[in-house]
Structure 1
Amino acid sequence: MSKNEKEINKPPTEKKLLGPSKSIFREYFESFVVTLIMAIFGMTFILQAVTVPTGSMQNTILVGDYLLVNKFIFAPGGNPLPFLPQREIQRGDIIVFKFPGYPDSLNKSKAEKEQAGPPFQINFVKRVVGLPGDKIEVRGNEVYINDRLLPEHRVIGDASDEKSALNTKEFEERQLEQSYDVYYSETEIESGGDSDYTFAAPGKPFTVAEDSYFVMGDSRNRSLDSRYWGVVNRNLVIGRAMFV
């Protein structure tokens, strides 16, 4: 056999891959990093999970409910892009926002401000009832928007929670012929009148400023909202509550 025939019949050698092969640990690490980056991006710009600490939105949202907040739906600056599923804030939207705090013009005491919580640090959940340019007038628990009465989302059933001043208990009587000793403690509870609405004074309509929103809780008797501390500026709105 000639030399040329030997070279032709020689089995082909395997080509070596360029670069080092990835280890399983490296593949898992890269997958974890990519997932973490996507999660951080999603929680920063698209979705956020929050819990509801109080009963101001009962029965729509209950104490302890978990909400997913859509942070992408409201267009920044109120200018939605035509190719994206964005829109402006509408009346009736349940929004999550940073508590704006009491305006200095209300001259609230330090204790009252501490009771409401530090501004710009606590997330509140309320319903939008007044849009920029709307005329708002509060008469007791009734709210008039542009001289029209706003329907109330009334609370049905027991709306008490751990922060309520009054808790209810149910008793079941099983033995009718037996007598029971009943013990109770006297507690005085004062109902806040119209004068408590430090921002929306009764009988004094006002106009919602530009880029601001008048918000209230569905449980009006138990809600600390725009009637007390004023309107919510657009830049404090985090997003719209999506799921419960």
Structure 2
Amino acid sequence: MSTTASQPEETIAKQEDQTETPLESLASICVVLAIGLFVMTFVFQNFEIPSASMEKTLLIGDHVLVDRTSFAPPTKWAPFVHYRDIRRGDIIVFYKPNPETPDLFLVKRAIGIPGDRIHLHNGIVYLNGVAQNEPQAGKPADDGDPEHAFNAYRDDFPSVPPNPMEIGPGGITASWALDLPNHVQNGDLVVPPGMVFAMGDNRTESLDGRYWGFVPRQNIVGRPLFVYWSFETPADQINKTGLGDRLSFMGHILVHFFDETRWHRTFHITR
């Protein structure tokens, strides 16, 4: 009888022993946060599309999840991570190859890899002598475009030399204007070892490799996997860097989250 009577007390004691202490709970939370921080730092990264250079593939206000592992150098401590090199047509996220903006992330499409010969004629990309079918790419209207002469460098790259008026901030970098002739052979731009040539899909509105040169392989940090959230964002929002402007836009998001979110782009795969 005494043994039976003591069983509930033993059960209660065991249950009390299984209850986490505040220190154990804090340790569990720290482990979860550490794992989450590791994943978001070394495996995935959030990236917001700030400009129209990749339309129609990626829109201003698209928030994409970037895979940071596929293009990273293979390591012995993580043999399970799938690694591959850059392929033509990959959408890549990278640090802009410009010493004035070393921390600026850009997203473009890889057009050429080492050894490729590239030129544009009226906005059409010719890769190793073959015209590319790029339905996603925005191109000039036609040869009769009245602005074609002004944009000849952009549309017939690299056969037309840089216009001195276009060299400077917001245009062709002085270093690229000087270095460009060293990479042109028989009217083609030849991609050197260790480099990638990248352009935006919205070719007439993209400040890309035609204006600042090649992307060093080590500058490439990953590739966008999918859009996890997309919000209708004004094209000039990228230029509003003041604290007041940012707070105002955050308030706008809170008010219009439901009616200005592009719900149809949620989990849109980037390719």
- Shorter-normalised TM range: 0.5 to 0.7
RCO (CA 8 Å, sep 6+): is it higher in 1 or 2?
A: 1
Which residue pairs with 1:65 in the alignment? 62
Percent identity of paired positions between Structure 1 and Structure 2 = 37
Which structure is higher in helix share? 2
Which residue pairs with 2:33 in the alignment? 36
Query: 1:143 and 2:101 equivalent?
Result: no
Q: State which of 102, 107, 115 in structure 2 corresponds to 1:125.
A: 107
Q: How does 1:169-180 map to 2 (within 5 A)?
A: none
Q: How does 1:73-222 map to 2 (within 5 A)?
A: 73-76=70-73, 84-101=81-98, 118-152=100-134, 153-155=136-138, 192-195=150-153, 200-202=158-160, 204-222=187-205
SS at match of 1:36: helix
Q: Is the CA contact (8 Å cut-off) linking 2:73 and 2:83 kept in structure 1?
A: no
Q: Deviations over 1:72-120 (max 9, x none)?
A: 1124179xx9754221111111111111128xxxxxxxxxxxxxxx422
How far off its partner does 1:229 sit? 0.6
Query: 1:240 and 2:223 equivalent?
Result: yes
How far off its partner does 1:137 sit? 1.4
Q: Deviations over 1:55-77 (max 9, x none)?
A: 11111111100111001112417
Q: Is the CA contact (8 Å cut-off) linking 2:71 and 2:84 kept in structure 1?
A: yes
Q: Is the CA contact (8 Å cut-off) linking 2:64 and 2:226 kept in structure 1?
A: yes
| Distance of 1:201 and 1:77 partners within structure 2 | 38
Which residue pairs with 2:250 in the alignment? none
| Distance of 1:27 and 1:66 partners within structure 2 | 36
Query: 1:51 and 2:48 equivalent?
Result: yes
SS at match of 1:220: coil
Q: Deviations over 1:193-220 (max 9, x none)?
A: 1235898443831210112111111110
1:84 and 1:198, CA in 2 relative to 1: closer, same or farther beyond 3 A? same
Which residue pairs with 1:114 in the alignment? none
Task: Count how many residue pairs are aligned between Structure 1 and Structure 2.
Answer: 181
| Distance of 2:26 and 2:83 partners within structure 1 | 35
The residue identity in structure 2 corresponding to 1:124 is L
Query: 1:26 and 2:23 equivalent?
Result: yes
| Distance of 1:243 and 1:96 partners within structure 2 | 13
SS at match of 1:76: coil
| Distance of 1:70 and 1:30 partners within structure 2 | 28
Gaps of 5+ in 2: 1-5, 140-146, 161-185, 228-271
1:121 and 1:84, CA in 2 relative to 1: closer, same or farther beyond 3 A? closer
Q: Pairwise CA RMSD of aligned residues?
A: 3.4
1:120 and 1:140, CA in 2 relative to 1: closer, same or farther beyond 3 A? farther
Give the TM-score normalised by the residue count of structure 1: 0.64
| Distance of 1:201 and 1:28 partners within structure 2 | 65
1:224 and 1:142, CA in 2 relative to 1: closer, same or farther beyond 3 A? same
Which residue pairs with 2:207 in the alignment? 224
| Distance of 1:85 and 1:147 partners within structure 2 | 32
1:28 and 1:208, CA in 2 relative to 1: closer, same or farther beyond 3 A? same
| Distance of 1:119 and 1:194 partners within structure 2 | 27
